[in-house]
Amino acid sequence: MVLFGDYHTHTKYSRHNHGKGTILENASVASSKGLKQIAITDHGFNHFCFGVRRKDIPEVKEDIWNAREVTGVDILLGVEANLISTDGDVDVKVEDFEFLDILLMGYHKLVHMNSQKDFRQINLVNMVGSPFRPSKERLNRNTTAFLKALDKYPIDIITHLNYGFPTDTLAVAKLAKEKGTYVELNGKRICFTEQEILTMANEGVNFIVDSDAHTPDRVGECNEGLNLIFKLGIPLSQVANIDKFPKFLRTRGKN
The residues of the shown chain that bind Zn ion, judged by CB under 5 A, are: 80, 106, 159, 212
86 or 159: whose CB is closer to Zn ion? 159
Q: In the chain, where do the E strands start and end? A: 5-9, 37-43, 74-82, 102-106, 157-158, 182-186, 207-210
Q: Which residues does 148 contact at the CB level (< 8 Å), separation at least 6?
A: 87, 88
> CA neighbours within 13 Å on the CB side: how many for 213?
30
Q: Are 26 and 11 in contact (CB under 8 A)?
A: yes
Burial (CB count within 10 angstroms: exposed 0-12, middle 13-18, buried 19+), residue 220: buried
26 or 159: whose CB is closer to Zn ion? 159
39 or 240: whose CB is closer to Zn ion? 39
At residue 235's C-alpha, the angle toward residues 175 and 207, to 5°, is 35
Q: Are 51 and 20 in contact (CB under 8 A)?
A: no
Q: How far is the CB of 240 from Zn ion (least distance, A)?
A: 17
2 or 110: whose CB is closer to Zn ion? 110
Q: Cα–Cα distance between 237 and 248 in angstroms, integer?
A: 16
Q: How far is the CB of 211 from Zn ion (least distance, A)?
A: 9
Q: Are 222 and 7 in contact (CB under 8 A)?
A: no
24 or 79: whose CB is closer to Zn ion? 79
Q: How far is the CB of 252 from Zn ion (least distance, A)?
A: 23
Closest chain position to Zn ion (CB): 212
Q: How far is the CB of 110 from Zn ion (least distance, A)?
A: 11
Q: How far is the CB of 214 from Zn ion (least distance, A)?
A: 7
Q: How far is the CB of 10 from Zn ion (least distance, A)?
A: 6
67 or 213: whose CB is closer to Zn ion? 213
52 or 201: whose CB is closer to Zn ion? 52
Q: How far is the CB of 210 from Zn ion (least distance, A)?
A: 8
Q: Cα–Cα distance between 127 and 122 in angstroms, integer?
A: 9
Instruction: State the alpha helices, DSSP H only, in 113-168.
Output: 116-118, 125-128, 136-152
DSSP state of 122: I
